[in-house]
């Protein structure tokens, strides 16, 4: 059994519409799930909206004040991600932060003619060898090209570049936000799913996650689809964030290489 | 009754996987529709795949040779586009060619505090006044920022900038590829749908289309989702393209300003 | 009499070649000037190199250790900057951080058809009204385009955008690094010189400097020419920086608008 | 004896100030030089301005009309380019089209730890192997980063990327525009000078030139300093361009590798 939780504190400065992407995806069976949102201590009702691939978004309207969001759930094993008819078309397309079209020649330069599982492993190794994990080194508007030039970033950045390289070499790839038991330092994590040999496999360009323990939150093209907080309208400042994730049975050993599906 | 047709000629140079996005969307009732693909004169079977919002993609595998695609349909009036629960979240997100996050300050600089229908009309007027229609002036990797800097482009470019400006100002906006009866010069057209007051309305930043006569093909975040041809794998060169679209009852007068839904 | 001083501490990690641009330019008469450089307490000899427009660079070779640089001078009134035959050609060219060619349409959009002193004042006002002074918001590779998009930065960034806008509108413009008596917080400052009506005038897009009190250090196209420290070869980390500048007669009142030459 | 000539035709549409950079640099002894400029057939006086490194610019003011510029000279052997005290500082700086700071990690990725002559040859070979000579594939605002991403361009683009890579790896490098006897197709050429072992050597990232036969025109940081035509003010369209260069003694064999200075 995996336990996951998160909490956010926000200063809402005007009437605002907020979307949280913190709830575990529909693919996982859940028990004891609760999502509570308060504004200056009074409960606030959230609307649940289903995005693609079972992503669950929670939307609230809030006036000015101190907003607190707390989420917790006990998580069971997920069904493997299904392969939808348009998946290998949609996830080859360039996206906001995975500008695979701009990086086509660059990806070829570093990865050559390899295909399928081979190019996936080659791209993952390239990230491990060339992208330094460096919190604070990147900005919210940075995409794969900027990460390629800077050679530094956080999980989001490394995943974007990994996705861009793989799409450029013909491998459908997408971003998954996740709870990651054992992650150091603990935070929301971002990993990559690749469509190879008829199934979606998870890889981690940072090497930080124990993949068999990951719990899926949101699935999409890139961070534009998976941000844990989106301010749709109005102004709100994030003041605090805490994430926790554990696996009561202990972490599953993971060499990073063998094929793993998000379960 | 509207008649639409298109044909493409390709030189396929290797084993290739191709996706055509030329068929009228599911929202329109159709009669006499046919899509024929041949390779060196022999019929080639296409698989129809449904993408989001009723977009119909046709996929073929082809070996080397001369590929011909011909499409035609007689088109009836569409139901208005439904508003889905996640639409106003998804279509505020930045996308590959509509980098609304990068252009947030720029959009505010030109559009100010206006909202809703008012900012839509203001943004459309800005495009009409500042973006020159200039075939050949833009490239396939150009997005809204490049169009903003160059102040020139084709319908795709103007639509991308219009979408980026509107998303940056809080108006959900998306790209629609369309057959456009009366368009001069005749070609596939790209227009913008905006979500205002609970419905999707169509606007044209180029001022070239008669909006009531438009026939929807594909709907998505930007040109990454609506390209009429995608080479998923292998190599193929486009050698010829012909598009035709007419309205037997004549074109509907359109001042560009009044609210119109794609029908 | 103006007194200026600065000191830098560096951890030199390998054999390195360093260039300091902290000495007052040749245009100012000086008394009591001294520049001392030590490595782990032992004196290090610097070579003085004259760059364009009387800029004085000091170059040292240093092995690993703690390097200290201290500079101080008493500064007299400078001759006005001469106008050289190629100045109005050279300082209209785009440069690394003043990409006036990319911003040509944007500059026109905000400044219109104004010329000469009028467009200079219009551009300065635009900076004062649109660019927020925000230390830490920009990076060393940011140029005028990035500052235009972010609408925030430090004196270097505002000056780059101001220069780019002016060059795009036909006004020769360049960057000057300076000691700035009365600056809050005290630091090296970056201002802009414009060539209008046959002379070089100083303007400050941040509004922070008392222009008549400024003391010229380096003059060039942009920050690539005026950085106070350049590591030509090897590795060295800046550990400390202190700048001081005072005018014994008190600061000269400056409305920011009237024509002032660097004296 | 080398003979060089060029002619330009321009439609001047308003009162305009134009700068031509077509005359052979001061380093070459010349005979029979003439530069003639006419507007609608009437002679127009040009002012000669000396830019850095002996570059000779010719400036004219012209009203609307058809402007013709013709230049020709017989060229003797030049003195080798002197090494000035600030050269190895100035030509390590990033510049508008040679954004070596942005490309620092990329250059290291492709060139590794090599230094001096070794990294120069390695960078030249990289250009020969990765950048396709493709007229029309690049635009005037493209710099080294764009050329790196596109892997295609003309001599200007290849030279910019070569310079950026070399500066990033610690080799001072600059652009030289030149008449190039034997060039196919004949045009103005752009090559690179590198400062290695105390002298300026010429290299050609396109492999198209016979280096010993090159005749220097302009020397600078990048194409911003060496454009054959600059419209300082007003509007003028280039309508025609012809360049010719021959060596009466025949072309000098050039393997592209051995050290050659511009003579």
**How many whole angstroms separate alpha carbon B60 and alpha carbon D242?**
49
Q: What is the pLDDT of residue B27?
A: 97
Tell whether ipTM is more than 0.90: yes
**How many whole angstroms separate alpha carbon B63 and alpha carbon B86?**
40
Chain A residue with the nearest C-alpha to that of B234? A170
**Nearest chain D CA: its distance from A99 CA (Å):** 12
**How many whole angstroms separate alpha carbon A155 and alpha carbon C136?**
22
pLDDT at residue C155 above 90? Answer: yes
Q: For the residues C191-214, what does the mean pLDDT come to?
A: 97
B-C contacts at Cβ under 8 angstroms: 20
Check C103 against B149: CB less than 8 A apart: yes
Mutation site, D99, D109, D147, interface A, largest A CB count within 10 A: D109
The reply to whether A106 touches chain D by the CB within 8 Å rule is: yes
Q: For the residues C137-165, what does the mean pLDDT come to?
A: 97
Those residues with Cβ within 8 angstroms of residue C4's Cβ, 6 or more apart along the chain or in another chain: C24, C71, C72, C73, C75, C179, C181, C215, C244, C245
Q: What are the pLDDT digits (tens) for A57-108?
A: 999 999 999 999 999 999 999 999 999 999 999 999 999 999 999 999 999 9
D-chain CB neighbours of A105 within 8 Å are: 149-151
Q: What is the pLDDT of residue C236?
A: 97
Those residues with Cβ within 8 angstroms of residue D102's Cβ, 6 or more apart along the chain or in another chain: A149, C141, D94, D145
**How many whole angstroms separate alpha carbon B149 and alpha carbon C143?**
15
Average pLDDT, chain D: 97
DSSP-derived 3-state class of residue C246: strand
Q: What is the pLDDT of residue B211?
A: 98
C-chain CB neighbours of D95 within 8 Å are: 95-96, 224
Nearest to A86 among B51, B88, B99 (CB): B51
B-chain CB neighbours of A224 within 8 Å are: 93-95
| Structure tokens belonging to residue D232 | 């300082």
pTM: 0.96
pLDDT at residue B221 above 90? Answer: yes
Check C232 against D96: CB less than 8 A apart: no
**How many whole angstroms separate alpha carbon B75 and alpha carbon B213?**
10
Q: What is the pLDDT of residue B78?
A: 97
C:29-68 residues touching chain D, CB 8 A cutoff: 49-52, 57, 59
pLDDT at residue A223 above 90? Answer: yes
The reply to whether B103 touches chain C by the CB within 8 Å rule is: yes
Q: From residue C94, how far is each of C90, C152, C163, D160, D230 by CA, in Å?
A: 9, 21, 9, 15, 12
The reply to whether D144 touches chain A by the CB within 8 Å rule is: no
Terminal-residue alpha carbon distance, chain B = 12
A-chain CB neighbours of B224 within 8 Å are: 93-95
**How many whole angstroms separate alpha carbon B198 and alpha carbon B183?**
29
Q: How confident is the model at residue A1 (pLDDT cuts 50, 70, 90)?
A: confident
Average pLDDT, chain C: 97
Q: What is the pLDDT of residue C1?
A: 87
A-chain CB neighbours of B141 within 8 Å are: 99, 101-102
Check B149 against C109: CB less than 8 A apart: no
- Whether omega for the bond prior to residue B185 falls within 30 degrees of 0, making it cis, is yes
- Whether omega for the bond prior to residue D185 falls within 30 degrees of 0, making it cis, is yes
Q: Give the closest residue to D89 by CA, choosing from C51, C64, C237.
A: C51
Residue B45 CB-density burial (10 A; 0-12 exposed, 13-18 middle, 19+ buried): exposed
Chain A residue with the nearest C-alpha to that of B227? A93
Which of the other chains make 3 or more beta carbon contacts under 8 angstroms with chain B?
A, C
A-chain CB neighbours of B225 within 8 Å are: 93
Check D94 against C96: CB less than 8 A apart: yes
Nearest to C149 among B102, B130, B150 (CB): B102
**How many whole angstroms separate alpha carbon C45 and alpha carbon C30?**
21
Q: What is the pLDDT of residue C129?
A: 97
Check D150 against A109: CB less than 8 A apart: no
pLDDT digits (tens), chain D, 263 positions = 899 999 999 999 999 999 999 999 999 999 999 999 999 999 999 999 999 999 999 999 999 999 999 999 999 999 999 999 999 999 999 999 999 999 999 999 999 999 999 999 999 999 999 999 999 999 999 999 999 999 999 999 999 999 999 999 999 999 999 999 999 999 999 999 999 999 999 999 999 999 999 999 999 999 999 999 999 999 999 999 999 999 999 999 999 999 999 99
Q: What are the pLDDT digits (tens) for B173-188?
A: 999 999 999 999 999 9
Q: For the residues C156-170, what does the mean pLDDT come to?
A: 98
Check D59 against C89: CB less than 8 A apart: yes
- Whether omega for the bond prior to residue C185 falls within 30 degrees of 0, making it cis, is yes
Check C149 against B105: CB less than 8 A apart: yes
pLDDT at residue C121 above 90? Answer: yes
H and E: helices and strands count for chain B: 6, 15
* B224: Cα separation from own chain's centroid: 10
Q: What is the pLDDT of residue C35?
A: 98
Chain D residue with the nearest C-alpha to that of A131? D105
**How many whole angstroms separate alpha carbon C250 and alpha carbon A62?**
52
Q: What are the residue ranges of helices labelled H in chain D?
A: 87-90, 104-111, 116-130, 144-150, 155-168, 223-226
Nearest to B102 among A52, A57, A141 (CB): A141
The reply to whether B115 touches chain A by the CB within 8 Å rule is: no
Average pLDDT, chain A: 97
pLDDT at residue A24 above 90? Answer: yes
Q: From residue C188, how far is each of C5, C26, C77, C135, C150 by CA, in Å?
A: 10, 18, 19, 13, 23
Mutation site, A21, A95, A173, A230, interface B, largest B CB count within 10 A: A95
The reply to whether B84 touches chain A by the CB within 8 Å rule is: no
B-chain CB neighbours of C145 within 8 Å are: 149
Q: What is the pLDDT of residue D64?
A: 97
**Nearest chain A CA: its distance from B231 CA (Å):** 10
Check C130 against B148: CB less than 8 A apart: no
Chain A residue with the nearest C-alpha to that of B47? A85
B-chain CB neighbours of A102 within 8 Å are: 141
Edge-to-edge order in the sheet of strand D189-196: D199-203, D189-196, D173-179, D215-220
The reply to whether B140 touches chain A by the CB within 8 Å rule is: yes
Q: For the residues C162-167, what does the mean pLDDT come to?
A: 98
Check C140 against D101: CB less than 8 A apart: yes
Chain B residue with the nearest C-alpha to that of C146? B102
Q: How confident is the model at residue B1 (pLDDT cuts 50, 70, 90)?
A: confident
Check C130 against B109: CB less than 8 A apart: yes
Chain B residue with the nearest C-alpha to that of C130? B109
Q: What is the pLDDT of residue D1?
A: 87
Q: What is the DSSP letter of C104?
A: H
């Amino acid at each position: 059994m995996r336990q996951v939780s998160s909490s956010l504190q926000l200063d809402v400065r005007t009437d605002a519409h907020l979307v949280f992407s913190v709830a575990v995806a529909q693919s996982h069976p859940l028990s004891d799930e609760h999502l509570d949102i308060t504004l200056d201590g009074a409960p606030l009702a959230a609307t649940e909206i289903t995005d693609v691939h079972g992503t669950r978004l929670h939307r609230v309207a809030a006036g000015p004040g101190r907003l607190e969001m707390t989420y917790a759930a006990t998580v069971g094993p997920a069904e493997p991600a299904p392969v939808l008819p348009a998946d290998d078309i949609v996830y080859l397309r360039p996206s906001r932060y995975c500008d695979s079209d701009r990086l086509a020649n660059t990806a070829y330069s570093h990865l050559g003619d390899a295909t399928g599982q081979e190019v996936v492993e080659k791209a993952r190794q390239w990230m491990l060898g060339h992208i330094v994990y460096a919190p604070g080194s990147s900005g919210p508007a940075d995409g794969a090209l900027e990460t390629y030039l800077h050679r530094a970033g956080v999980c989001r950045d490394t995943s974007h570049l990994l996705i861009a390289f793989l799409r450029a070499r013909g491998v459908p790839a997408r971003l998954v936000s996740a709870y990651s038991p054992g992650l150091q330092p603990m935070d929301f994590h971002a990993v990559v799913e690749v469509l190879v040999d008829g199934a979606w496999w998870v890889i981690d360009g940072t090497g930080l996650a124990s993949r068999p323990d990951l719990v899926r939150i949101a699935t999409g093209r890139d961070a534009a689809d998976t941000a844990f907080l989106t301010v749709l309208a109005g102004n709100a400042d994030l003041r605090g964030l805490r994430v926790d994730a554990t696996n009561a049975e202990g972490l599953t050993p993971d060499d990073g290489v063998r094929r793993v599906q998000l379960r």
